[in-house]
Each structure stands twice: as C-alpha cells, then as structure tokens.
C-alpha cells in the first residue's frame, strides 16, 4: 500500500510537470510569436510608405529573423532535434541550449561519437529525465561552478553520469532530500526500467542514470 501511494504521488508529480511544460510552451507562443507577428503587422502598416525601400527591407529581414529564431526554439522544445537519430547528439544539442541560460556553469560533455541506435521513445524518456534533473540539481542560489556529463555504453548497458562540482554542503543536502528526487527515481524505473542514484563525494554531487536496451 505504501509503495502504491508513493508511485501515485510520483506519477501525479510527473503529470504536473508535463502540464506545466505545455503551459509554458503555450505562453511562449502567446507572449512571443503572436506578439511579434502582431507588432510586425502594425510595423508594416505604419512604415510601408514612409521609409526608403532598402531600409524597409532591412527591417523586414530583421523582424523575420527574430520570428524564425523564436519559432525554431519553440519547435526544439516540442520535439528535440536528433531525438530519433542519436542520443548523444540530442543530449549535446539540449545541453548546449540549456547552458545559454546558465552561463555561470562550465559545462563539460563527454559523449561518444559511435553510438548504437536506441528507440526514439527511449531517447525521449532519457531527455525528459535529463531536463528534470537539471532543474533539480541547479536550483536558484546554487553556486556550483562546473557540470560534467558523461555517457557510456557497455554491452547495451547504458550509464549517464552528472558530476556537479563545488556544491555548497547545505545546498547539496537540500537537493538530495527533495521529495522530487524520490519521484523521479520512481518515474525513471517505471518508464525505462532503469535506476537513478544520487550521491556525493566531497563537494561533488554525483547523479547516475543506468538502463539497458530494450
């Protein structure tokens, strides 16, 4: 009974996280793309006959470029690039994109170039786990300086290791004790038949995701 309640809480938390992500993406469309489209339309209406043609063209191109980049970013969030082709490439793209909003962290990636195919569904699960783990491991106020990520494959046994260095001891204790850590362990075990472990060695917080190929 206790395990069932814990699993239910884990799935409820997971569902809430997915709903929140969808909501944020919808808000991104409303506050970003739609507002840009409206502003661009008004700009065209007010300037189409008031500026020299060359200057108009330059402004149009600038506006379209911003629109394109926003649309590209949104599409990447909805369906990460390379997720159907290569887990290392998908991880590299997702982490480099994540780093843009965490410039204080030195991100070091050790990802293999030779990789056997995984199912896109399994790759998506791993990427979802990574996204949630990054949120849990790097809360606001965390002063860690370096994040080292390593992906290995030995006889279809996969291991993804996060090493967050120079973590304050109080922050480390706070991270490890969060109820969400227990939830995500349950989710990963249920979705990927995998194991998630979080430990520490000195000022290094170590997180490992382990799973086998289907």
Q: Are residues 39 and 106 in the same domain?
A: no
Residue 44: per-residue pLDDT? 65
Residue at a domain's end among 17, 49, 78: 78
Residue range(s) defining the domain that contains residue 41? 2-78
Residue 36: per-residue pLDDT? 80
Domain count, the chain: 2
What is the helix (H) or strand (E) element at residue 207, kind and residue range? Answer: strand 204-212
Percentage of residues in the chain having pLDDT higher than 90: 21
Q: Are residues 140 and 53 in the same domain?
A: no
- Which pair of structure tokens corresponds to residue 195? 């194991």
Residue at a domain's end among 48, 78, 108: 78
Q: Are residues 121 and 186 in the same domain?
A: yes
List of residues 6+ apart from 157 with CB closer than 8 A: 210, 211, 212
Written as one string, the DSSP assignment of 47-82 is HTTTS-HHHHHHHHHHHHHHHHHHHHHHHHHHS-TT
Q: Are residues 71 and 99 in the same domain?
A: no
pLDDT digits (tens, 9 = 90+) for 142-185: 777 899 999 999 888 999 999 999 888 888 888 888 899 998 99
pLDDT digits (tens, 9 = 90+) for 44-83: 666 655 555 657 666 776 777 787 777 777 777 777 778 8
pLDDT(140) > 60: yes
Q: Are residues 163 and 189 in the same domain?
A: yes
Q: Are residues 121 and 201 in the same domain?
A: yes
pLDDT digits (tens, 9 = 90+) for 109-123: 999 988 876 777 788
Residue 62: which CATH number? 1.20.58
CA distance 89 to 140: 28
Residue at a domain's end among 46, 78, 110: 78
* pLDDT interval class at 37 (50, 70, 90): confident
The pTM (predicted TM-score) of the whole model is 0.74
pLDDT(89) > 70: yes
pLDDT(14) > 70: yes
Q: Are residues 58 and 121 in the same domain?
A: no
Q: Are residues 25 and 93 in the same domain?
A: no
CA distance 43 to 135: 38
Residue 119: per-residue pLDDT? 76
């Amino acid at each position: 009974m206790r395990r069932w309640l814990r699993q239910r809480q884990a799935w409820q938390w997971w569902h809430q996280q997915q709903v929140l992500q969808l909501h944020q993406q919808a808000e991104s469309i409303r506050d970003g793309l739609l507002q840009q489209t409206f502003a661009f339309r008004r700009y065209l209406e007010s300037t189409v006959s008031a500026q020299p043609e060359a200057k108009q063209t330059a402004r149009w191109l600038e506006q379209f470029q911003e629109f394109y980049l926003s649309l590209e970013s949104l599409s990447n969030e909805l369906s990460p690039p390379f997720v159907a082709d290569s887990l290392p490439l998908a991880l590299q793209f997702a982490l480099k994109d994540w780093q843009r909003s965490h410039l204080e962290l030195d991100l070091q990636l050790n990802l293999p170039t030779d990789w056997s195919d995984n199912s896109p569904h399994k790759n998506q699960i791993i990427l979802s786990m990574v996204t949630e783990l990054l949120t849990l491991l790097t809360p606001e106020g965390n002063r860690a300086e370096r994040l080292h990520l390593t992906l290995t494959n030995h006889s279809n046994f996969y291991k993804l290791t996060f090493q967050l260095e120079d973590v304050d001891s109080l922050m480390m204790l706070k991270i490890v004790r969060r109820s969400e850590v227990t939830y995500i362990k349950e989710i990963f075990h249920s979705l990927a038949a995998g194991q998630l472990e979080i430990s520490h060695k000195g000022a290094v917080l170590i997180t490992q995701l382990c799973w086998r190929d289907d």
